[in-house]
Structure formats: structure tokens, C-alpha cells
Amino acid sequence: MLTLNGIGASPGTVEGTLFCYHRKVYSGPSRPVGSPEQERERFRAAIRQADKQLRQLFQDTVSDADEDCAQVFEIHRMMLEDQDYLQAVEELIGKGNKGVESAVEEAARIFSNTFLSMDSAYMQARSADVIDVSLRLLRILRGEEEKPLTLPYPVILAADDLCPSETVQLDKKKLIAIVTAEGSRNSHTAILAKTMGIPAVVRLGDVITDEMHGKHAAVDGSSGTLWIEPTEEICRLIHEKTMDLDERRQQLMQYKGLPSVSRDGVSVKLFANVGSLEDCEAAVENDAEGIGLFRTEFQYLSASACPGEEELFRLYRNALQTMDGRPVIFRTLDIGADKQAPCLPLPPEENPAMGMRAVRLCLTRTELLRTQPRALYRASAFGRIAIMVPMIASVWEMQEIRKAASSVCRDLGAEGLAYNPNVPLGTMIETPAAALISADLAKEADFFSIGTNDLTQYTLAADRQNGSIHLFYDARHPAVLRLIRMAAESGAKAGIPVGICGDLAADLTMTDFFLASGITSLSVPASMILPLRERVRSLTVGGWEPDLNKTSGRG
Ligand code: PEP
Ligand code: MG
């Protein structure tokens, strides 16, 4: 038996056959290099051909009713229009007698390394897209056909890494786990595995060899372990773990359809946090009572051009239709700091977390206060929608947002387009300032949603991205809890709902504190809805008074 350790990227355990896959590696041109102009012309022809292929792949995947997956091809097509990338290849051609293939390879290396060196895990994962689209160009330049990876029967797929286009084209029925040498927790591979609910381990390193192909293997996606030819003992343990997980999942099913109410009648709405249509489907499957946070910036982070009104409108409308009458709270763009979007390049800042992000960006670049709000208000004719604004620190910011919303409604009305004029407009409480002035903000907001991730970062002056200070980043710090309490009290006095959508909402040791504080909704990852409902239903909140000097809930 061989035990290999990587990073657990999607939980679950499974046993099965290992299927090793190596992407073809290209090396240097095998033909005489032409003049720089001839090579550039070949490059432009390859771009045109790739554009055609990607449009076709997009269409085919949309017709398979997989619009979310199809987006990968649209993103790649937009990458082919990226002026920086195009210019880099054209400039590399001719340098040191470089042909087009070598120039594409080098540009892929440069751009993928740039993405990898970024702080944000999300941006790091974009390096896979650059490599993917460059491989497509190389295939075209060499006249090779694109052969989608075909799996013979349900297998554990082992690969160096999977390109986004490869993951999208995989036959999901034949995939029971994914293990990769490279990748990250945030990579397409991890996202695909989590969405499919199968285990995944990434970053195993250069240890998976072709001799392992076809061998029996076991995977634990929580601990990040891969066993090749596991012993009977390991198989037994894996089997037990799988049974336990299945049993737990089964046991949680009994909470589907039940009200989220404590033993003594305190009720709370349990919503899901999402970033895509697929996430909305998972929310429905897990019996979420609505969406408490739709992170709308995700559609911008992966695009090289800002999505247009029509595209956004279709996405928002589809989300509302998927939620089938349940409410959906869309958060306006939260770009900046750790979430940089190539389509909205921001000048470098000394302190980006305290700089041009979220509502500040929208109030500065006023075109952002038109496209997305227009799409949201148009979608409001198709379901129960609410809009909330991130990073509010002052009352005037909310007032400006209200003015922009009214102006959008006026325009839509004048154009004869349907919209709901009474969409609730909420404030995120994620700066200490917002919590401290929550009584004033409650006059401008129809609801509050507390973002504990940022509220913790700004209250404790502890960067949420910096792993080395995780000891100092404590979302259960008494200062954070007092601010939560303060916002909840202001909301209750003004008669508006107060929810929590930061990660702390899913901390089951805090549920009694939240209920006792008058929090009206908790928004968590879909997989946490049923465990949270189980917790709520087990509690007696009564007149419990939390000790705000302790750093955790009651226990
Ligand atoms: C938060 O800050 O708690 C939050 C929900 O927003 P995000 O994590 O997207 O910044
Ligand atoms: Mg936040």
C-alpha cells in the first residue's frame, strides 16, 4: 500500500479504480519558422478558429441545459480578446527567431505565473484558464483534434491538473473522485467536485505515475489522503466512514420541510449563500428557505469584459426561477481588496482592504450603478428579490444608493419595462462604523445583513486573508459580538429584519447567541442548512442572556 497526502478539496470517502490522465505536453515547433509577419498571421488565424470552436462549445453546452458550465467557454473566448495577452504573443513572435507556438507557450507561462503570484486564491485559479486557452491555440496551430477525455466506467480520476474545459466536458456519471498533483482548494477541479458532492484531493505533488493506472485506490477528501492498493484495514475504515457520512446525510433528511424554530418557539429563517445558478440548485436541494447572500461579483471576477445588462438580467431571473418563489437577496458588486476583477482593473493601493472596494467603487464609477441595478430591477418582475449593499460605513452612502435605485426605476418605467418598485434595499453591517450608527442606518435600510467576515477583520484590525495571524482573527471576540448585538437591537427597534450572512452564521456553537439576540435569518453554505435546522430545533432560547465578555457562545 502507498499512502499519499495532499490537500482535501472536497469531503467524502470512496474506493475505486484509478484512471490516470496526462494532458498532452507540447514542446517547440517542428516546422521552419516563417517571417514575423507570417507567424503573426498564423496566430490571428488560430485565434479566429479558437473563437469559432469556443462559440460552438458554448452553444452545445447551453443546449445540454448546462448554462453555468457553458460559461467556461465564454470566459475563454473573452480571454482571446484580451489585448494584453494578444499583444504579448505578437511581441514575443520574432524575438530570438521565435515562432508562434513558442510565443504562445511563453505567454501562457508568463500570464499563468502572474495569476499564480496573486494573493487571492480565486485569481490564482485563473492561471488554469490561461493554460487551457493557450493549449487550445497550440492544438489548432499543430492541426490536432480536440479529444474530450472519455472515462470507461466510474473511476477515481488522477491528473496533473484539470483544465476548466476538461472538467466541463467530463462525463460526470463516470466520476467518483478526483485527485490531482497540482490545483488549489479554489480550483475548478475543487469547485466541480464540491458541486457534484464527490471527494477530491489536490496538490498531491509529482507522485502519481502511469504504473498506478487501473490500480485499486481509496480517497478521503477531508483529510486529503489517497491510498494506492489500500490494505483491508484501510478499506474497512473507508467503508465505515462512508457509511457514517451516508447515515448522517440520511439522518439530516428528516429536517427537510420542517420549520426552523426552537423548542420554545423562536423562529429564524435559514438561507443559503450562493454565487451561481448551480449553487441555487444546491440551495433548493438542501431545503434553504431562500438565498441570503448572492455574491454577484463572481460573474465579474472571471470575465475579461464586464458582463452586460442582458446577461446579468438572464442570470438573476434564472436564479429567481430556480428558487421558485423563495426570496433571493442579491448583494451589489463587492469588488476590490481580495476580489480583483480583470474587467474592472483598479490602480494598485497601499491598503486595498481599506481602499476602493464594494460600494465605494460603485459610488465612484457611476456606470456600475446602472448596469447591475437595471438588471436586478428588471429581474424583480420575476420573483421575490431584495438588494443589499456591502461595506457601508456612512448614512450618505445608503442615501446615494437609494437615489441611484430610484433613477433606475424611473428609466425602466419610461422605457415600459416591468419592475417591482418596492424591492427591499438592505445594508450590510460589516464595518464597525455601520454597527455603531446602525440606529441611523435603520432609517435608510429595509433590512440589515451582518457580514461577520469583514466585521471581524475591521473590528480587530486583523487581515482575513493573512493565515499567519489567524490566532488574532477571532469572529467570536467580545468586540465583534457586541457589535452584532448592537445592530440586532437597532434593527429590532426600527422593526426591520436583521440577518447574518458571514461565516459565523454556520457556527453551531453560536446559534443560541444569535437567536437570543433577535437575529431573524442565518445565511450559510447550502450543506449547512439541515445541520443548522437540527441545531435550532434542539435549542431552548428562553431568557438566556449571553455573556458578551466570553469569546464563544454558551458552551
Ligand atoms: C462578510 O464579510 O461576512 C461577507 C458575507 O462578505 P464576503 O465574505 O463576501 O466579504
Ligand atoms: Mg464582506
Which residues in the chain are classed under CATH 1.10.274.10? Answer: 36-142
Amino acid at 184: S
pLDDT tens per residue across span 442-463: 999 999 999 999 999 999 999 8
Closest among 449, 431, 446, 437 to 521, alpha carbons compared? 449
CA of 451 to the centre of ligand 2 (A): 5
CA 123 to CA 115: how far, in whole Å? 6
**For the domain with range 258-538, which CATH number is right: 3.20.20.60, 3.40.50.720, 3.50.50.60, 3.30.465.10?**
3.20.20.60
Give the DSSP letter string of 127-139.
HHHHHHHHHHHHH
429 close to 487: Cβ distance less than 8 angstroms: yes
Q: Which is higher by pLDDT, 249 or 450?
A: 450
Work out the pLDDT band at 401, boundaries 50, 70, 90. Answer: very high
| pLDDT value, residue 555 | 35
CA distance 463 to 473: 8
Quote the percentage of the chain above a pLDDT of 90: 57
* 389 Cα to the center of ligand 2, angstroms: 10
Residue entry with cell 479554489: 186
Residue 523 has pLDDT above 60, yes or no: yes
Q: What is the pLDDT of residues 21-74, one digit of tens each?
A: 887 655 555 678 888 898 999 999 999 999 998 888 888 777 665 666 677 788
- Looking at the chain, the domain(s) classified CATH 3.20.20.60 span 258-538
Which ligand 1 atom sits closest to the C-alpha of 503?
3
pLDDT tens sequence across 293-302: 999 998 887 6
Q: What integer pLDDT is reported at residue 553 of this predicted model?
A: 39
Q: What fold, for 2-22+149-252?
A: Glucose Oxidase; domain 1 (3.50.30)
The domain defined by 36-142 folds into: Enzyme I; Chain A, domain 2 (1.10.274)
For the chain, give every residue range classified as CATH 3.50.30.10. 2-22+149-252
Kindly list the protein residues that place their beta carbon closer than 5 angstroms to ligand 2, a single-atom ion.
430, 451, 454
Average pLDDT over residues 215-222: 94
User: Minimum mean pLDDT among 331-345, 377-391, 524-538: which range?
Assistant: 331-345
Nearest CA residue ID for atom 9, ligand 1: 295
Cα(542)–Cα(280) distance, integer angstroms? 34
In the residue annotation, 216 being an active-site residue is answered as: no
**Of the ranges 163-167, 188-192, 487-491, 551-555, which one carries the lowest mean pLDDT score?**
551-555
Counting from 1 in the atom list of ligand 1, the atom nearest the Cα of 452 is 3
| Residue-level pLDDT at 121 | 62
pLDDT for 147: 75
Query: Phi/psi at 74 (nearest 5 deg)?
Result: -70, -40
Beta bridge pairs of residue 15: 218
Q: Read off the pLDDT of each residue in 412-416 and give the average, rounded to a whole number.
A: 97
What rounded mean pLDDT belongs to the chain?
89
339 CA distance to ligand 2 middle (Å): 10
Q: How many residues does the chain have?
A: 555
Lowest mean pLDDT among 191-200, 452-461, 494-503: 191-200
Q: Which atom of ligand 1 is nearest to the CA of 451?
A: 3
Residue 464's pLDDT band (boundaries 50, 70, 90)?
Answer: confident
Q: State the average pLDDT over residues 130-156.
A: 86
> Does residue 207 or residue 451 have the better pLDDT?
451
Specify the pLDDT at position 66: 60
**Locus of grid cell 498564423:** 42
Q: How confident is the model at residue 233, as a pLDDT?
A: 93
Q: What was the pLDDT predicted at 114?
A: 82
Pocket test for ligand 1, best of 453, 459, 476 (most atoms within 8 A of CB): 453
Lowest mean pLDDT segment, chosen from 9-18, 69-78, 260-269, 478-487: 69-78
Which residues are registered as beta bridge partners of 524?
Answer: 272
Choice among 69, 163, 188, 306 that is catalytic: 188
501 is catalytic: yes
User: 338 CA to middle of ligand 2, Å?
Assistant: 10
d(CA 251, CA 14): 20
Within 6 A (CB) of ligand 1 lie: 293, 295, 334, 430, 451-454, 501-502
Reduced to 3 states, what is the DSSP secondary structure of residue 457? helix
If you measure from the C-alpha of residue 106 to the centroid of ligand 2, how many angstroms do you get, rounded to a whole number?
Answer: 37
| CA Rg value for the chain | 25
- Give the CA distances from residue 549 to residues 450, 462, 472, 506, in Å, rounded to whole numbers and listed in that order: 20, 19, 16, 21
Closest-lying ligand 1 atom to the alpha carbon of residue 449: 5
∠ Cα 470 219 278 (to 5°):
70
Reply yes or no on whether the pLDDT at 279 is more than 60: yes
